[in-house]
Structure 1
């Protein structure tokens, strides 16, 4: 089964359309609703298609426990308890309605990653236009089915997932009714090293699972996202913040507003540059066709005089015979007097033109 197009809030996503660029807010609102609304405005101003948030509380995503596995070891959040980190990073549920309203007022789509059934219920009550399954939740097939069963577009990240786990999630989503499905390649490292990205997975994933593919990009900068578009990604997701200097749980690997605008323009430029298979001069080259090389008379030639390397040369511009005919011209004689600087034509050369 293959899929050629998806839609989120009426925007078509897929081949033939610019990449859908999503600004991931995550916890970069820093616990301030005003900042969350400003982030939505900044994403709209940067030209992003959508802003994504995350819908959970510390108690719906983990346990308030300090036992083995409940404290992070290594990386950006080394030493922090899961419950403490998620309590800081979560987006309060009573913010959701004003955030959706503000996004509508700014003409940008807002959707979310739910992390349990109660989050889906909240988002359904707000008429959320799509759902995103985070990489860590891809193995939660009941959650995948619950989101798919809403009939809304579904985006799934695949960080850490094996081929079998991706196949299970895709089958679960489709079995529960998902039709508008996009699967994102992802490296779940924060930030992700460039060497870990393996972007050539994108076309393989598209063929292997019969899905449209995109990239959830945790690298620094925009290069990986642009490269992904060149490899067929139709969807790009990137964390963003108002200012890395102001901190925030994800700020270290997030783009600032001017960088987000650059991402949008670069990804769309990369998509536009892909074009289609084309040979020969295109419209943009038409004015330069006359500057190719051709055969010109480089010294005056009298009627009956032989053409030689001393009086015929391949030079710019391109109004004479193509240079490939130079050997056929040398040794033949002129049909008339030809002044210096004249473009050479077959009417000036004795004998028949080749082939």
Structure 2
């Protein structure tokens, strides 16, 4: 499968295009619609391209006795109880989607079961997100691929063998609209665990747009991921890190999210086009620091120029030093004082 870009609404995502930044609200609304709406506002203010939530029916995705992850608050207890408290209704998501349209920010959500995925498709989402925990859930991935929508698939906790199985589903479904996100599923993820070069590996192996689902602290990893060619970057954020809930502590604050997005955009500016040329800002400096051919001694009119008569000095407003061979043996058209910048009008051609 080879696809250099996907399209979400009118936005093309892939090589030589701006990084698509997803503000991951996830379940940081604590099961409250008012908080979810506030998260949309903060994502928009921070400059994100999309804000993403998580859509699921608790009974469909976990047993009654599954324990919560170690990184999650000890008070969360069983996954079932925790997720039930964080579950938004389908009607809540309808309101969220409408609010996102009003705020002109893309509404996205990770679907964790087929029913929730069908609901999101009916809601009119322009892309589907599949989380890292579903990388081996081939029935769910096939369900997504058959939708024909662009799919963003996170690859935390997986290797190339498992990812290849998932990618092959899209070949079978004849849906080439896939973006793979490299991810390290630790919360927060230490810098020495990030292995950001895997972004490049995924792009080379699977020939699709790739990106980074970032669970690290700060924006250093985002800057590096952007430099490595990430097409999509996803970052968790919260209204308040001190809130109770599974993901708040490992998320960015609204101000941090804004700084994060600014860092990505500044990195894009710094990367440029790759074409090596003189930057406009360099033109004034160029003449100041380059050198010109200068008379090392007084050169009388009619004298044939020899190397000993010449030297090079700043500024670079005269004949460039690389032209010295053309001056050797030529006659001076006028008297040239020592330390004068030599110009072609002074030389007999």
TM-score, shorter chain, exceeding 0.5 = yes
Moved more, 139-148 or 259-268: 259-268
Identify the match of residue 228 of structure 1 among 225, 228, 236.
225
- CA contact 1:89–1:249 (8 Å) conserved in 2: no
Please say if 1:86 is aligned against 2:83: yes
Identify the match of residue 343 of structure 2 among 334, 342, 345.
345
Identify the match of residue 261 of structure 2 among 255, 264, 268.
264
Correspondence list, 1:129-278, <5 A: 129-278=126-275
Aligned to 1:169, the other structure's residue is in SS state helix
Q: Distance in 2 between matches of 1:225 and 1:315?
A: 44
Moved more, 104-113 or 73-82: 73-82
Moved more, 209-218 or 115-124: 115-124
1:13 counterpart residue number: 13
Please say if 1:55 is aligned against 2:55: yes
Q: Distance in 1 between matches of 2:334 and 2:244?
A: 81
Deviation by residue 1:252-310 (Cα, 9 ceiling, x = unmatched): 2212222222222322332343333323424443343322222234665444497777x
Q: Distance in 2 between matches of 1:73 and 1:12?
A: 36
Number of equivalent positions: 346
Please say if 1:111 is aligned against 2:108: yes
2:316 counterpart residue number: 318
Moved more, 331-340 or 318-327: 331-340
- Residue 243 of structure 1 deviates from its aligned partner by 2.5
> Structure 2, unaligned stretches of length 5 or more?
none
> Structure 1, unaligned stretches of length 5 or more?
none
Aligned to 1:251, the other structure's residue is in SS state coil
- CA contact 2:5–2:208 (8 Å) conserved in 1: no
- CA contact 2:57–2:116 (8 Å) conserved in 1: no
- CA contact 1:218–1:238 (8 Å) conserved in 2: yes
Return closer, same or farther for 1:330/1:76 CA change in 2, 3 Å cut-off.
farther
Using the size of structure 2 for normalisation, the TM-score is: 0.89
2:38 counterpart residue number: 38
Please say if 1:71 is aligned against 2:72: no
1:293 counterpart residue number: 291
Deviation by residue 1:72-119 (Cα, 9 ceiling, x = unmatched): 464344583222332333334331111111101000011111111111
Deviation by residue 1:317-355 (Cα, 9 ceiling, x = unmatched): 1122323456887998855322355312356468x8xxx
- CA contact 1:186–1:216 (8 Å) conserved in 2: yes
Aligned to 1:244, the other structure's residue is in SS state coil
Aligned to 1:237, the other structure's residue is in SS state strand
- CA contact 1:154–1:178 (8 Å) conserved in 2: no
Return closer, same or farther for 1:332/1:10 CA change in 2, 3 Å cut-off.
closer
Aligned to 2:205, the other structure's residue is in SS state helix
- Residue 312 of structure 1 deviates from its aligned partner by 4.8
CA RMSD between the two structures: 2.7
Q: Distance in 1 between matches of 2:100 and 2:71?
A: 33
Aligned to 2:294, the other structure's residue is in SS state strand
Moved more, 132-141 or 269-278: 269-278
Aligned to 2:211, the other structure's residue is in SS state strand
